[in-house]
Amino acid sequence: MNINPFAVEEWMNAYETGALYNIAETCVDSISLDELFSLSGTDKESFLSRLCSRRLTYGAIEGSPELKNGIASLYRTIKPDEIVPTHGAAGANHHVFYSLINPGDTVISIMPSYQQLYSIPASLGARVKIMHLKKENGYLPDIDELKRLAEGGVKMICLNNPNNPAGALIPQEILEKAAAIAQSCHAYLLVDEVYRHLTQDEEWQPSIVDLYEKGISTSSMSKVFSLAGIRLGWIATHDKEALKQMWSHRDYNLISCGMIDDAIASLALSAKEKILERNKKIIRENLAILDDWIQKEPHISYVKPHAGTTALVYYDFPVDSYTLCRQMYETCGAFVTPGDCFNEPHSMRIGYAADKDTLIKGLHAMSTFFRSLEAGKAGSSRPSEA
């Protein structure tokens, strides 16, 4: 299988561990098991004693009842038997394409978005049509353009809601119109919902599976629940034929997600209100900090995110984004993601859901770097952490 290099993940792999101020991270500030026990009101010794006494088998092959009931509670109409556990949302997206897309199928995807949504179907031999989201339209799908792209038939339409990297939130009205287009073609509508629930207000964010029978939702415990370390995600859909194919293909590459990951995810889902309360507080306070910083910086601009953990920030310096982000990393320790990873030149993706101190120090370091660019003397020495 030939596939394009995964630009954003290759960038993260190369630089993340050495970052002084990591504001490229897309998870809400990660929690430890101790913090999870505290948030959930769980007795640590009792939980660990039960876990340590279990024999390390494959566990529940299709996911434990506790896990699947917890995932189902995040939707309005999904039942536990309509959920396929996977290795993270990355595993979920890959598994959907691996199970349902064949050479010659037509797939419509968006850009900017997570690269899996267009590079994987292309690698499987699908004909991929790209719908470019526009800054002036708030990075929302253009329904008229989607309708034109779907003319002649389509096997699957792919969206990302909330959007990574721009933080746009597709309203229910647009989702329903996209579903109507998919329905007219008997197409699947895959929506990567890995940031779902991380909104800037308390309004319920609908899932595509609660709006369309052939809708497919992918998500995980990583972003919303701050538990990327357990590598547990899922696929949810009402479509019986899709479920049949995904369960069949799962036997070839997954077997199970691991009983320890399952147990930790189940505990977190049982305390979802507490975790969501914590994480919404973080993203709302931190977005206000980011927004205030952007208003004061003369060389940058953005469309303020409505949801998620990331913002796509544009700059007017005469340098490509890989060069700018690498120089900034090397001279001041601030780590962000080049916009060219998303085919958005002269921009960068900032992850604003880190701990508040890291965000503030990282933005301050960026300002210092921008002043050096203004003066034409970007340095080469890297500061030590304050």
Residues 6 or more apart in contact with residue 75 via CB below 8 angstroms: 207, 209, 210, 217, 236
What's the rounded Cα separation, in Å, for the pair 334 and 331?
8
Q: Contacts for 228-231 with beta carbons within 8 Å, 24 or more apart?
A: 228/27, 228/30, 228/88, 229/30, 230/260, 230/261, 230/264, 230/265, 231/87, 231/88, 231/91, 231/257, 231/261
Paired sense of beta strands 233-237 and 215-220, if any: antiparallel
| Domain regions of the chain by residue span | 7-32+274-375, 56-271
Contacts of 312 (CB under 8 A, 6+ apart): 112, 139, 165, 166, 167, 302, 303, 339, 342, 344, 347, 348, 349
DSSP track, 161-211: SS-TTT-----HHHHHHHHHHHHHTT-EEEEE-TTTT-BSSSS----GGGT
To the nearest whole percent, how much of the chain has pLDDT over 90? 96
Closest CA to 135 of 291, 308, 347: 347
Longest dimension (CA), the chain: 63
> What does the pLDDT look like over 211-259, one tens digit per residue?
999 999 999 999 999 999 999 999 999 999 999 999 999 999 999 999 9
d(C-alpha 248, C-alpha 246), whole Å: 5
Task: Write out pLDDT tens, residues 38-80.
Answer: 999 999 999 999 999 999 999 999 999 999 999 999 999 999 9
In the numeric block, which tokens belong to residue 205?
A: 């964010």
Residue 137's region, left for phi above 0, alpha for psi from -120 to 50, else beta, is alpha
Report which residue type is found at 63.
G
Rounded CA separation 116/110 (Å): 11
Architecture per CATH, 56-271: 3-Layer(aba) Sandwich (3.40)
Cβ atoms of 174 and 253 closer than 8 Å: no
Q: Are strands 156-160 and 127-132 parallel, antiparallel or unpaired?
A: unpaired
First to last CA, the chain: 46
Q: What single DSSP character describes residue 307?
A: B
Cα distances (angstroms) measured from residue 214 to each of 109, 195, 242, 297: 16, 21, 8, 45
pLDDT single digits (tens) 162-186: 999 999 999 999 999 999 999 999 9
pLDDT over 70, % of the chain: 97
Q: Which residues of 253-278 are buried (b: 16+ CB within 10 A; e: fewer)?
A: ebebbbbebbbbbbbbbbbbeebbeb
The pLDDT value given to residue 376 = 83
CATH fold for domain 7-32+274-375: Aspartate Aminotransferase, domain 1 (3.90.1150)
Place of tokens 């992850």: 351
User: pLDDT higher for 293 or 375?
Assistant: 293
Is the whole model's pTM more than 0.85, yes or no? yes
CA dihedral (317, 320, 324, 325) positive or negative: positive
CA atoms of 335 and 79, how far apart (whole Å): 41
Q: Which of 218-222, 239-243, 369-373, 375-379 has the lowest mean pLDDT?
A: 375-379
In which band, very low, low, confident or very high, does the pLDDT at 385 lie, cut at 50, 70 and 90?
low
Q: What is the pLDDT of residues 101-150, one digit of tens each?
A: 999 999 999 999 999 999 999 999 999 999 999 999 999 999 999 999 99
Whether residue 337 is predicted with pLDDT greater than 90 in this model: the reply is: yes
pLDDT of residue 308 exceeding 80? yes
Q: Do domains 7-32+274-375 and 56-271 have the same CATH topology?
A: no
